[in-house]
A = this chain, B = another copy of it.
């Protein structure tokens, strides 16, 4: 990759992060290109579509979520670890403007970052299931779909999203309070 192309890519991702934080995931691509100081053709050539751009923007966010799952892997109480992680997800999605819709698009688009989050979560869920805290008929796609749904449907209200997640967890772990 040529040096100028690399530089432009970084400019565009930075501008996109800024604009998406202000206006959400539906922000105008032209506005992003404008703010990055490049032609809109350049943006389209680099990313091909909105989804790829959003993935680049939220790359580090997603890496963070996966890292957090890794840290929780050896927690002594698997159900608690899963709960903490899911709360972290919901909170993060509700807080970071544009992330929720971006994850949905990326899931619909069958993209990489969704796979990464799935594997991260599956680890925690399976440990909680081996331990008997969570019934075997729950799978990680169910959980993430519910998390997506909750975060999307709660708008930017992280408190409400957390409350809804508590309701769902009560159901997933009927043996516990």
Using CB atoms and an 8 Å cutoff, list the residues of chain A in contact with chain B.
104, 138, 142, 145-146, 148-150, 152-154, 160, 163-164, 167-172, 174
Contact = CB atoms under 8 A, between A and B. Distances in A.
A173 to B, nearest CB: 9
Contacts of A152: 149, 152-153
Contacts of A142: 163-164, 167
7 nearest CB pairs, A to B: A171-B171, A149-B149, A170-B171, A149-B153, A145-B153, A148-B153, A167-B171
Nearest to A161: B145
A150 B151 CA distance: 11
Given A168-B167, A170-B174, A154 B145 contact: yes
A136 to B, nearest CB: 13
6 contacts: A104-B153, A148-B149, A152-B153, A168-B168, A171-B172, A171-B174
A104 B171 CA distance: 25
Given A168-B171, A171-B172, A174-B170, A146 B150 contact: yes
A152 B147 CA distance: 12
Nearest to A149: B149
Contacts of A146: 146, 149-150, 153, 164, 167-168
